[in-house]
Amino acid sequence: MTRLDKYLCDAGIGTRSEVKNYIKKGRVSVNGSVVKNADLKLNENKDHVLFDGKAVSVCGLVYYMLHKPAGYISATKDDRDQTVLDLLADAPGKDLAPVGRLDKDTEGLLLITNDGALSHRLLSPKKHVDKTYLVHTKDPVTAQMATLLENGVDIGDEKPTLPAKVTLLSETCQLLLTITEGRFHQVKRMMIAVGTEVVYLKRLSMGPLVLDETLPKGSFRPLTEKEKAELGVL
């Protein structure tokens, strides 16, 4: 048994004071009846709670695939810009955060979760998790430039980048680039190092997780059981 206000807090509806105010205003119902008593004891396995007419449930660990559009920053909150969490405002779960960062103008795959252990595992420099990007460049990418990328390039850090995997596409200004690090603006800096600039960047995969191309930009969905198993979270 748990108190109604605590249950709503755990479900991510708001702070304790906020949810008490919501309850007083009659925005919460339990088993079909409006309840204005924050101290009400709930049976989490049997009682049906609605907030503003929508079902409320206390989720544990949750995992979402987001097709990030340009214009959003990879953060939980920001005073100036919209964040990727603004796109998941209605998603069940508390303490959601993006796993890693995509630049504001970069699109593509972004994993959103409250599983800190998974985030650490995917982002740890020691793990060398593959990340594949579709890169459009200002100038044609030559075989010589691809070889430089594959051998590692100096981007101004203490060490050159680790060897990358490059697949040149039929369009001469497009390539697939797989890296195993996550340095600041790494892909953009790598392309500058070989003599060109990135004009469009989209992440296609991270580890075993591959962007669902049927997912519209700005949309998200829960990971499938297969995807969670591949990430080792089942």
Query: pLDDT tens, 96-120?
Result: 999 999 999 999 999 999 999 999 9
Query: In this structure, are 69 and 47 located in the same domain?
Result: no
Query: In this structure, are 152 and 103 located in the same domain?
Result: no
Query: In this structure, are 213 and 202 located in the same domain?
Result: no
Can you give the CATH number for the domain in which 76 is found? 3.30.70.580
Q: How confident is the model at residue 158 (pLDDT cuts 50, 70, 90)?
A: very high
Can you give the CATH number for the domain in which 176 is found? 3.30.70.1560
Query: In this structure, are 157 and 174 located in the same domain?
Result: yes
Smallest CA-to-CA distance from 193 within 132, 133, 151, 131 is with: 151
Query: In this structure, are 103 and 142 located in the same domain?
Result: no
CB atoms within 10 A of CB 42: 20
Last residue of a domain, one of 17, 38, 56: 56
118: part of which helix (H) or strand (E)?
helix 116-123
Query: In this structure, are 197 and 164 located in the same domain?
Result: yes
Query: In this structure, are 118 and 72 located in the same domain?
Result: yes
Write out the DSSP string of 25-54: TT-EEETTEE---TT-EE-TTT--EEETTE
Can you give the CATH number for the domain in which 16 is found? 3.10.290.10
pLDDT of residue 200: 98
Query: In this structure, are 13 and 45 located in the same domain?
Result: yes
Query: In this structure, are 117 and 75 located in the same domain?
Result: yes
pLDDT at 59 over 70: no
Tell me the CA end-to-end span of the chain in Å, nearest whole number: 27
For range 132-150, the mean pLDDT: 97
Tokens of 233: 């979270």
Last residue of a domain, one of 20, 39, 56: 56
Owning domain of residue 189: 131-206
Residues 12-39: pLDDT tens digits?
787 788 889 999 999 999 999 999 999 9
| pTM score, whole prediction | 0.78
Query: In this structure, are 94 and 45 located in the same domain?
Result: no
pLDDT at 55 over 70: yes
Rounded Cα–Cα distance for residues 99 and 16 (Å): 27
Query: In this structure, are 79 and 47 located in the same domain?
Result: no
Q: Which of 10, 47, 103, 139 is catalytic?
A: 103
Residues 182-230: pLDDT tens digits?
999 999 999 999 999 999 999 999 999 999 999 999 999 999 999 999 9
Smallest CA-to-CA distance from 98 within 115, 111, 116 is with: 111
Classify residue 234 by burial, with Cβ atoms within 10 Å: 0-12, 13-18, 19+. exposed
Question: Could you give the number of structural domains in the chain?
Answer: 3
Query: In this structure, are 200 and 216 located in the same domain?
Result: no
Catalytic annotation present for 103: yes
